């Protein structure tokens, strides 16, 4: 048991922080209105990150990345997350980051060349077509989009929404039902690589959402007799639900890493303001009401960080760590919401005005308690695992062996 | 002790609900982008309200209102509040509603004719210039804007922000320091009626804010050698802080009334969705996790309503009811935030998408815990009152006599 | 709508408070160890209450009571509840108070003479045999105790526990299954009046519990071939579940009234201590952390009181008010727990030491969130009612007509 | 960064768990009434622990202990804490454990022989005289007990209370003011070793408290012209406040370790009961309301454990870790309270009955949020440290270097 970071990692962390402070945060005022015109800003920031030696920390070196393991990513992604633009700059933002991870694990060599390499280099963006307006969501087994094999080609039909980054993406990974596998079996779904220019793929509309800071927004898309070749299958036919877990386990943890950085940023505003603003004869920082909010945020972020680190270590050890990533997801998502909410409250009118990033963080972060499994679904899963294991087996939560 | 509503009030309530459902809610899709172009929609809705006999329920009949007392307003404002547009339609929205109340109490006959009458009729809008970027806020004694009497005219200098409704308002009520009254004495501030076309008054900018649904937005404004006549003083010189209380007591309670309606609206979405949406083999309404959120919202809204009614009765009895309106403000603001937050969570992606009003309510409502006194300031005041009264005097909280 | 109390009620309230302060609270130091030796203290306090004209406020005058309606009881029971001994003194403590109410509603004239009259006069105590160790509890349909009619006599067999007041009670009301009525039909259970000296009735043991302040404790009891005559049936055969509701509706509300008084008492200690105790250079009352706890308790008790009053008015109007008493039960029970917990925290070591009543209140009150339906069962019921009513029917929660 | 436990530690952990299950828990029914008659049971359990090779895990081998570092203690103390008797058995209970740690760090060789050695061997017990009825408490600078040097001897006068373990202790460590050191300077207090048979030391009374499971209870004691020799000074004169920190840092963390075990025990009851108890047609474990409580407890205990481990590593590295032990204290104390409270609620009547340990845990644990610094004092300290450090220094919370 050891919580220390290697000197190299500390250096990288400091370097990332400085990069975010010096390069990324100043660019926040230039975030484009609308979801479409991100290209220029994103390219500029990614070039800067490349120059700084910080590009794609999570990717293997053969794809131009830094080759960090998950525990190192935990530290660096948190730093990047202090700005909503940070993960864009480092090319470790959702949904590309999760897609890259899955492609690296599952894609064929040809698929890797075609999709992973340009994605890794930031040349293109991608999206992940999973959630459906009246189907797959918190319960993925509701999946209604179907793909059928006809004459050696797959024909996909279905409607998806909340497809983050869809506008401007070069391709999407589409989850479709390909069997009638019973509930919970996991069988019956397959993932497909679909090019954006496929005539059977259509962006129906940009869904207007509470969170507006995503390049490519959250679109509603349609697959209408969308025909793809057999070699567009990602991995094996019928393994879609399993692959979704391959993606989701780390993806929900990297979300936690990035959002923890965002919470820290909100706290920085709150702490700075509390030290400067005078009210009722002294600075806000001397009012216990404010102190307690700051203390709670400090304590909860500390706990959140440790839970992320712990789950990252398990992933590095080759475990699936579903219980631990699930626990981290619930705790971190709710902590980040609370921390940002408190920052709004401490900053008062300045927490409501969009001159600072606090209000934006409030707006952008709310969905984190819903995306990647609402807290309620995770809670039910966590409890079921607790009930399953023998009651005297306290070990499992911190994996002593 | 009696909680029943008169048959007339029940009728008016039903009528208001139907008006909101049939006329106001369908207009929500036409809310203008930006803060400036509200005139047409507002006029149309106010005409409809007038035709429906629902216009200005809180105003005396001589000003074209329905002459309701506060307890009746509590019922009707809640109904109106189910849509963010409802209070606009009924001309009982902040800040006009509070300004009208204060003008009616304090203004001279000539001021009433010039300002109150057209305001009451919905012909013009107004704003209230109190909050300052680095001065008056949660602690009004930080007031920095000053007015000096020179050669029989008042000259106002200062900067204000978060002046709701400023863009498009015909006049503002400006709070300025006119003496050097010590802290807490209340002396030393005066309210002035300033026409929007006064050359010394300037809208510096529209402050971008988390809440975007206000006609006229929240502006930053400036008074630079702004000259007004002596008859522009509202009430008496030096009584500004007292008048602010005259305005704030009921104003914070009418906020509660309207926002409680908004919370109910969010609940309506959540309840409807929970009854229809299938997940994990049954409707959401059969998941205890959802049930408990609904139950908590139901219970807290019930408590919130009773606290509003109680404080309204005290106001009707001529009491200042600072303790009770303060308690209502804290409880209702936090309840409304929780209820809307739960509605977002229950609705999932549909709580994030702006197709429904849930996301908008989430965005618009956050500031309610800050405006009209942050929860923290109210909590401190409530406690101080508790410590002041004799400890065995449980009576005071529900005023038995 | 009107929240005022009549001058007569205000007088009675003041009188009750003074009686509790002068007579009841000084007797707290004489609470007997163990559950059995309450007789002397109880008789003494009841005599004093009789002399003070405060005895049995909830009972009709023909039974020696004050004949108060529920809304008046709400005020007086709260005052009595300031001491755990108060309801004993006024003969309005559970379970006798609920039993008396049910007997008055359902019992035959002969049963009233035999059981209600001496109970009303405080000559005897009673208990209510409902909860079973592995049967009826939060879900009353689990009822396992059975009664069979053999040769014109009922033979009861079954085991009950948490039978409050059993030790020293003269009789019990026993709930037993008398049919095989399907779940939720309500049919199939009957209430029986069983004398304590019945040889088929046995106190198995005094269950050791967290709460120790009940005369007669919480016993485990057994009915073994317990034979009672047909005229021992309370009300009609097969109506037991309906009668349980007759008892539980008001009984859970009177619990709320009494416990609210207990919360107030805890607050009185906390407020007094906070004003006197110096820490970190000033009194605790000047620390915002303490202020906020006091404010939250003040606000929540205020809301709790209004919910009780509201539900009491509905009961007085002849409504069953299941939704409203259920909401009150959840909110008040949890509020009282929070208020007492905060009082412990504010009083510090003095909240842990049993020199003051704060620790006792903490210990005694915990079960209130479980007795008479755990919060979870009430929440589920509340939600089901919300889902059942039409979604636009906001009216119901405050019954406008 | 590494969260794994060594195979040796895993073995020791398993061994401890088995010892607690097989030896300690069965002894719980034999806990003596009253605070005085613990000797026999304690000796028996300590002998068993000695035989099992588990005695005094935290002590150096030269004193008969296992010589574990803090991070290993974190694992073993948690296991021991599953029973309130566990730390007694292993001789790692408060206040002896903290006293032994301090003696080992500060005492002279002679003092170690006289006091530490028999304490380490479980032959005697001790207590720590710090808290005062109207003086030192949450704010230690309120210290009123004074010691004066007269003719080469120290004369101590003062009153203390909540002196845990005093009845039956062989000696106490007494904190007394020996200078007039200004507030916060830390100077001015000295620690003295006082034998119980010193005629100037008197146990005034056993304070009746909510928690009753301590050998020796919590006494009120008096020092009246209590004369001790100069070699009774522990460490140096005037360094008392510094030494108190030496004691409190680890002591509050070992409290966390033990109590976390207690929370786990409560959870074990709740999980087992929820899997077995049927209600509303299924087991409690299938009700989401219960699932969510279990999930929250699981998540929070996991976070609590990681915070303890992290702070223990810092202590092992020689850091004072005040910020981290303070954060752990607040979070763990409140988590343990919540976990136990949820266990009571899930177990319903069985959580109130003292047949199981759940009710006892509820009663015993409440004070943990007050002892060793109330949560409020820790929150204020945590916030002050946050305000002191530079705002961009997110590092400190997890000490990367």
The residues of chain A that CATH labels 1.10.540.10 are: 7-120
Cβ contacts of B288 on chain D, cutoff 8 Å: 287-289, 292
- The H or E element spanning position B45 is helix B39-51
> What's the pLDDT score for residue D129?
97
Q: Is the predicted pLDDT of residue B392 greater than 50, yes or no? A: no
Mean pLDDT of C319-329: 96
pLDDT digits (tens, 9 = 90+) for D145-155: 999 999 999 99
- Scanning D209-248 for CB atoms below 8 A from B yields none
Q: Which residue has the tokens 């030269």?
A: D62
- Nearest Cα neighbor of C253 from C331, C189, C182 is C331
> What's the pLDDT score for residue B187?
61
What does the alpha-carbon distance between residue A259 and residue A251 come to, in Å, rounded to a whole number?
Answer: 12
Cβ contacts of B291 on chain D, cutoff 8 Å: 289
Which one of A13, A298, A314 has the shortest CB-CB distance to D400?
Answer: A13
Q: Is the predicted pLDDT of residue C391 greater than 60, yes or no? A: no
Distances (CA, A) of C364 to A398, C360, D362: 36, 6, 12
What does the alpha-carbon distance between residue A6 and residue C128 come to, in Å, rounded to a whole number?
Answer: 67
- Nearest Cα neighbor of D215 from D162, D160, D164, D161 is D164
Which one of B7, B292, B380 has the shortest CB-CB distance to C379?
Answer: B292
Mean pLDDT of A51-71: 97
Characterize B297-333 residue by residue with b for buried, 16 or more Cβ atoms within 10 angstroms of its Cβ, and e for exposed. bbbbbbbbbbbbbbbbbbbbeeeebbbbbbbbbbbbb
What does the alpha-carbon distance between residue D231 and residue D229 come to, in Å, rounded to a whole number?
Answer: 5
Q: Supply the mean pLDDT for chain A.
A: 93
> What's the pLDDT score for residue B390?
59
Report ipTM (2 d.p.). Answer: 0.95
pLDDT digits (tens, 9 = 90+) for A143-182: 999 999 999 999 999 999 999 999 999 999 999 999 865 5
* Side-chain-facing half-sphere of B158: CA atoms under 13 Å: 25
Which one of D139, D280, D352 has the shortest CB-CB distance to C210?
Answer: D352
What does the alpha-carbon distance between residue D86 and residue D23 come to, in Å, rounded to a whole number?
Answer: 9
What does the alpha-carbon distance between residue A216 and residue C234 come to, in Å, rounded to a whole number?
Answer: 71
- Nearest Cα neighbor of A362 from A350, A377, A374, A372 is A350
Q: Is the predicted pLDDT of residue D383 greater than 90, yes or no? A: yes
> What's the pLDDT score for residue A357?
97
End-to-end, the C-alpha distance of chain D in Å comes to 11
Which one of A378, A391, A398 has the shortest CB-CB distance to D302?
Answer: A398
CA distance A314 to chain D (A): 9
Assigned CATH topology for domain C7-120: Butyryl-Coa Dehydrogenase, subunit A; domain 1 (1.10.540)
Q: Burial of A50 by CB count in 10 Å (0-12 exposed, 13-18 middle, 19+ buried)?
A: middle
> What's the pLDDT score for residue C393?
52
Cβ distance of D289 and B292 shorter than 8 Å: yes
Cβ distance of B289 and A380 shorter than 8 Å: yes
Cβ distance of B142 and A279 shorter than 8 Å: yes
**CB-defined contacts B:C, below 8 A:** 184
Q: Is the predicted pLDDT of residue A245 greater than 60, yes or no? A: yes
Structure tokens belonging to residue A226: 């969308």
Cβ contacts of D362 on chain C, cutoff 8 Å: 210, 366
> What's the pLDDT score for residue D225?
98
Cβ distance of B289 and D289 shorter than 8 Å: yes
The residues of chain B that CATH labels 2.40.110.10 are: 126-238
- Residues β-bridged to residue D220: D205
pLDDT digits (tens, 9 = 90+) for D222-254: 999 999 999 999 999 999 999 988 888 899 999
Characterize C119-146 residue by residue with b for buried, 16 or more Cβ atoms within 10 angstroms of its Cβ, and e for exposed. bbbbebbbbbbbbbbebbbbbbbbbebb
C322 touches chain B (CB under 8 A): no
The answer to whether B186 and B177 are in contact (CB under 8 A) is no
Cβ distance of D295 and A386 shorter than 8 Å: yes
Q: Which of A309-318, C14-23, C243-252, D20-29 has the lowest mean pLDDT?
A: C243-252
Mean pLDDT of C35-64: 95
pLDDT digits (tens, 9 = 90+) for B278-313: 999 999 999 999 999 999 999 999 999 999 999 999
The answer to whether A85 and A30 are in contact (CB under 8 A) is no
CA distance C380 to chain B (A): 6
Q: Is the predicted pLDDT of residue D385 greater than 60, yes or no? A: yes
Assigned CATH topology for domain A126-237: Butyryl-CoA Dehydrogenase, subunit A; domain 2 (2.40.110)
Label residue D42 by pLDDT band (50, 70, 90).
Answer: very high
> What's the pLDDT score for residue D182?
52
Mean pLDDT of A97-104: 96
Chain A neighbors (3+ CB pairs < 8 Å): B, C, D
Chain B neighbors (3+ CB pairs < 8 Å): A, C, D
Q: Is the predicted pLDDT of residue B23 greater than 90, yes or no? A: yes
Mutation test of the interface with chain C: which of A280, A281, A288, choosing the one with the most C Cβ atoms within 10 A?
A288
> What's the pLDDT score for residue B395?
46
What does the alpha-carbon distance between residue A168 and residue A150 come to, in Å, rounded to a whole number?
Answer: 30
Cβ distance of B351 and A345 shorter than 8 Å: no
Mutation test of the interface with chain B: which of A164, A274, A349, A363, choosing the one with the most B Cβ atoms within 10 A?
A349
Q: Which residues contact C390 (CB under 8 A, 6 or more apart)?
A: none
Of residues A351 and C214, more confidently modeled:
A351
CA distance D290 to chain B (A): 9
Cβ contacts of A162 on chain B, cutoff 8 Å: 349, 352-353
What does the alpha-carbon distance between residue A12 and residue D395 come to, in Å, rounded to a whole number?
Answer: 13
What single string gives the DSSP state of each residue in C104-152? HHH--HHHIIIIIHHHHTTS--EEEE---SSSSSSSGGG---EEEEETT
The answer to whether C297 and B388 are in contact (CB under 8 A) is no
Q: Residue D114: what are its φ and ψ, rounded to 5°?
A: -75, -40
What does the alpha-carbon distance between residue D324 and residue D42 come to, in Å, rounded to a whole number?
Answer: 33
Mean pLDDT of D26-47: 91
DSSP E strand stretches across B230-354: 233-234, 278-279, 282-283
Q: Note the Cα C315 to chain centre separation in Å.
A: 16
pLDDT digits (tens, 9 = 90+) for B181-236: 554 444 689 999 999 999 999 999 999 999 998 899 999 999 999 999 999 999 99
The answer to whether B329 and B255 are in contact (CB under 8 A) is yes
B382 touches chain A (CB under 8 A): no
Label residue D396 by pLDDT band (50, 70, 90).
Answer: very low
D70 touches chain A (CB under 8 A): no
Mean pLDDT of C170-182: 87
pLDDT digits (tens, 9 = 90+) for D172-214: 999 999 986 554 444 689 999 999 999 999 999 999 999 998 8
Q: Is the predicted pLDDT of residue D395 greater than 80, yes or no? A: no
What single string gives the DSSP state of each residue in A9-41? HHHHHHHHHHHIIIIIGGGGGGPPSSSSTTHHH
> What's the pLDDT score for residue D246?
83
* Superfamily per CATH, domain C242-398: Butyryl-CoA Dehydrogenase, subunit A, domain 3 (1.20.140.10)
- Name the residue of chain A whose CA is nearest to D21's CA: A392
> What's the pLDDT score for residue D186?
47
Assigned CATH topology for domain B126-238: Butyryl-CoA Dehydrogenase, subunit A; domain 2 (2.40.110)
Q: Is the predicted pLDDT of residue A401 greater than 70, yes or no? A: no
Distances (CA, A) of A51 to A23, A44, A73, A86, C334: 12, 11, 19, 15, 58
Q: Is the predicted pLDDT of residue D258 greater than 80, yes or no? A: yes
Q: Is the predicted pLDDT of residue B397 greater than 60, yes or no? A: no
What does the alpha-carbon distance between residue D193 and residue D107 come to, in Å, rounded to a whole number?
Answer: 10
Q: Is the predicted pLDDT of residue C392 greater than 60, yes or no? A: no
3-state secondary structure of A164: strand
Mean pLDDT of A303-332: 97
- Scanning B302-321 for CB atoms below 8 A from C yields 302-307, 309-310, 313-314
The answer to whether A151 and A141 are in contact (CB under 8 A) is no
**CB-defined contacts C:D, below 8 A:** 110
Mean pLDDT of B130-141: 89
Q: Burial of C316 by CB count in 10 Å (0-12 exposed, 13-18 middle, 19+ buried)?
A: middle
> What's the pLDDT score for residue B401?
29
Structure tokens belonging to residue B213: 């649904």
pLDDT digits (tens, 9 = 90+) for C348-390: 999 999 999 999 999 999 999 999 999 999 999 999 999 998 5
Cβ distance of C287 and A288 shorter than 8 Å: yes
What does the alpha-carbon distance between residue B247 and residue B102 come to, in Å, rounded to a whole number?
Answer: 6
Which one of D2, D272, D309 has the shortest CB-CB distance to A391?
Answer: D272
Mutation test of the interface with chain D: which of A324, A386, A388, choosing the one with the most D Cβ atoms within 10 A?
A386
Cβ contacts of C281 on chain D, cutoff 8 Å: 183
What single string gives the DSSP state of each residue in A224-250? EEEEEEGGGEESSTT-HHHHHHHHHHH
- Scanning A260-299 for CB atoms below 8 A from C yields 287-289, 291-292
What does the alpha-carbon distance between residue B332 and residue B300 come to, in Å, rounded to a whole number?
Answer: 8
Label residue D391 by pLDDT band (50, 70, 90).
Answer: very low
Angle at A236 between CA A235 and CA A238, to 5 degrees: 130
pLDDT digits (tens, 9 = 90+) for A8-36: 999 999 999 999 999 999 999 999 887 77
- Nearest Cα neighbor of A320 from A258, A392, A252 is A252
Of residues A55 and C214, more confidently modeled:
A55
- Scanning C328-347 for CB atoms below 8 A from B yields 330-331
Mean pLDDT of A334-357: 97
Mean pLDDT of B67-91: 98
- As a whole-number percent, the residues of chain C with pLDDT over 70 amount to 95
Give alpha helix (H) positions in C277-366.
288-316, 322-347, 349-352, 358-365
Cβ contacts of C314 on chain B, cutoff 8 Å: 3
Q: Supply the mean pLDDT for chain D.
A: 93
Structure tokens belonging to residue A22: 């010096």
The residues of chain A that CATH labels 2.40.110.10 are: 126-237
The residues of chain D that CATH labels 1.20.140.10 are: 242-398
Structure tokens belonging to residue C8: 């007569």
A134 touches chain D (CB under 8 A): no
pLDDT digits (tens, 9 = 90+) for D305-341: 999 999 999 999 999 999 999 999 999 999 999 999 9
């Amino acid at each position: 048991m050891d919580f220390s970071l290697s000197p190299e990692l500390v250096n990288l962390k400091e370097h990332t922080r400085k990069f975010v402070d010096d390069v990324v945060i100043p660019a926040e005022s230039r975030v484009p209105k609308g979801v479409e015109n991100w290209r220029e800003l994103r390219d500029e920031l990614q070039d800067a990150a490349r120059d700084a030696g910080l590009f794609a920390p999570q990717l293997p070196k053969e794809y131009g990345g830094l080759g960090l393991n998950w525990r190192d990513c935990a530290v660096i992604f948190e730093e990047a997350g202090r700005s909503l633009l940070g993960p864009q700059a480092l090319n470790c933002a959702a949904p590309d980051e999760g897609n890259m991870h899955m492609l690296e694990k599952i894609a064929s060599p040809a698929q890797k060349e075609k999709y992973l390499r340009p994605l890794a280099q930031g040349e293109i963006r991608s999206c992940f077509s999973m959630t459906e307006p009246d189907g797959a969501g918190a319960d993925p087994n509701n999946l209604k989009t179907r793909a059928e094999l006809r004459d050696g080609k797959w024909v996909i039909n279905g409607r998806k929404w909340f497809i983050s980054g869809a506008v401007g993406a070069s391709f999407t990974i589409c989850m479709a039902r390909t069997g009638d596998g019973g509930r919970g079996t996991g069988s019956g779904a397959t993932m497909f690589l679909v090019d954006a220019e496929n005539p059977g793929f259509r962006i129906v509309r940009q869904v207007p959402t509470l969170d507006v800071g995503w390049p490519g927004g959250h679109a509603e898309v349609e697959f209408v007799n969308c025909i793809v070749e057999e070699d567009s299958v990602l991995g094996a036919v019928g393994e879609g639900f399993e692959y979704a877990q391959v993606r989701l386990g780390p993806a929900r943890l990297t979300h936690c890493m990035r959002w923890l950085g965002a919470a820290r940023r909100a706290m920085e505003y709150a702490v700075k303001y509390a030290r400067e603003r005078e009210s009722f004869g002294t600075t806000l920082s001397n009012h216990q009401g404010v102190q307690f909010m700051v203390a709670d945020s400090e304590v909860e972020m500390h706990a959140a960080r440790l839970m992320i680190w712990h789950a990252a270590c398990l992933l590095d050890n080759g475990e699936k760590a579903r219980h631990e990533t699930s626990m981290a997801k619930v705790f971190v998502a709710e902590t980040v919401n609370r921390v940002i909410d408190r920052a709004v409250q401490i900053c008062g009118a300045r927490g409501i005005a969009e001159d600072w990033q606090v209000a934006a963080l409030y707006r952008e972060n709310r969905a984190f308690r819903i995306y990647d499994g609402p807290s309620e679904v995770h809670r039910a899963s966590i409890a079921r695992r607790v009930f399953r294991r023998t009651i005297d087996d306290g070990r499992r939560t911190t994996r002593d062996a």
